Amino acid sequence: MSLLVTGSIAIDSVKTPHGQLDDGPGGSAVYFSFASSVLVPTRLVGVVGEDYPQAFLDQFKGRQIDLTGLEVRKGSQTFRWKGSYQGAMNEATTLAVDLNVLAEAGPKIPAGFRDSELVFLANTHPALQVELLGQLAAPRLVVADTMNLWISNERDALLKLLARVDGFVLNDGEVRMLTGEDNLVLAGRRVLGWGPRFVVIKKGEHGCLLLTGQGMASLPAFPSDTVADPTGAGDTFAGGMMGTLALSAGRIDRDRLDLGLLKQSLVVGTVLASFTIEDFALGRLARVTRDDVDRRVAQFRDIVCF
């Protein structure tokens, strides 16, 4: 089943207790597509400026990522983010953000992508997410991510988005902020009441929680002794999740989502994210093979299941 992601393409500078990387490749659509393309072909939609390094574009080569929807906009500059992590590295401190091209007109979905069946709308202004969704013909399953900024400042637009998507992904702090509910099960149920058929609450090093009308799934993170840089873990997770759903083509029925399939998709997302955090930027993720994923899924089963 065709998988499309819309999201940011960034130049990131990150400092953690384990080192730092200046001007590396980043962005939600990049982490997502590097992860999902380990499993299935992925269509990418996003905009960069003319400063986006050729070396970063070259990294996409040899991967199943269709860059037809990647616009290099003349006269514009690429989105830049600079952040740091301390201690247990659960939360990034943003040191600088230059929205640049992200503050201009949004990307367009190319004609050849309009028939995409599975769609992930990575974090951006919720009104733009809705607009992108409107450019698609008849997607079978749409999942969106968000961030605290839109929860605080664009709540109405966000609720409109929620009414249009099948799945919603956000972190524990965000779902508490959005719902005013501290208990994550109750918070997740409240989000379901706004439209989505499932909600995935990401808890960083503590794993994730899935709620649907049919039941729940909860997973810890993969316990790792090598955490160099958590940047991109959440987007990698989403890429692994959507890639797994795309692999199972025939089983996707938005009116009767299979809880077991959704759980399996979280497992693959969790495992892919555990590779991303082992190195800065795409250092480890870019080298992950399908075999690596399968092996680590088996390890994860030994660690978690009883």
Write out the residues near a second copy by the rule CB under 8 A: 17, 87-89, 176, 182-186, 189, 203, 205-207, 209, 215-221, 223-225, 227, 260, 263-264, 267, 301-306
Rounded to whole angstroms, the Cα distance separating 281 from 228 reads 10
Rounded to whole angstroms, the Cα distance separating 238 from 99 reads 22
| Backbone phi and psi for residue 132, each to the nearest 5 degrees, phi listed first | -65, -40
Of 136 and 227, CB closest to a second copy: 227
Q: How far is the CB of 119 from a second copy (least distance, A)?
A: 25
| 245 touches 269 (CB < 8 A) | no
Q: How far is the CB of 148 from a second copy (least distance, A)?
A: 16
Q: Is 32 helix (H, G, I), strand (E, B) or coil?
A: helix
Rounded to whole angstroms, the Cα distance separating 142 from 144 reads 7
Of 225 and 255, CB closest to a second copy: 225
Rounded to whole angstroms, the Cα distance separating 81 from 91 reads 15
Amino acid 215 reads G
Beta bridge partners of 11: 25, 80
Of 26 and 204, CB closest to a second copy: 204
Q: How far is the CB of 270 from a second copy (least distance, A)?
A: 10
Of 5 and 267, CB closest to a second copy: 267
Q: How far is the CB of 81 from a second copy (least distance, A)?
A: 23
Of 66 and 229, CB closest to a second copy: 229
Q: How far is the CB of 35 from a second copy (least distance, A)?
A: 18
Q: Where are the alpha helices (DSSP H) in the chain?
A: 28-36, 54-58, 126-134, 148-153, 155-162, 172-179, 184-192, 233-247, 259-276, 290-304
**Residue 88 gets which letter from DSSP?**
T
Amino acid 241 reads M
Q: How far is the CB of 93 from a second copy (least distance, A)?
A: 15
Q: How far is the CB of 85 from a second copy (least distance, A)?
A: 10
| Residue carrying structure tokens 């992904």 | 169
| Distant-in-sequence, close-in-space partners of 81: CB < 8 Å, separation ≥ 6 | 10, 11, 12, 13, 26, 94, 96, 97, 98
Q: How far is the CB of 198 from a second copy (least distance, A)?
A: 14
Of 249 and 303, CB closest to a second copy: 303
Rounded to whole angstroms, the Cα distance separating 237 from 267 reads 9
Of 71 and 279, CB closest to a second copy: 279
Packing angle between helix 28-36 and helix 233-247, nearest 10 degrees? Answer: 40
Of 58 and 182, CB closest to a second copy: 182
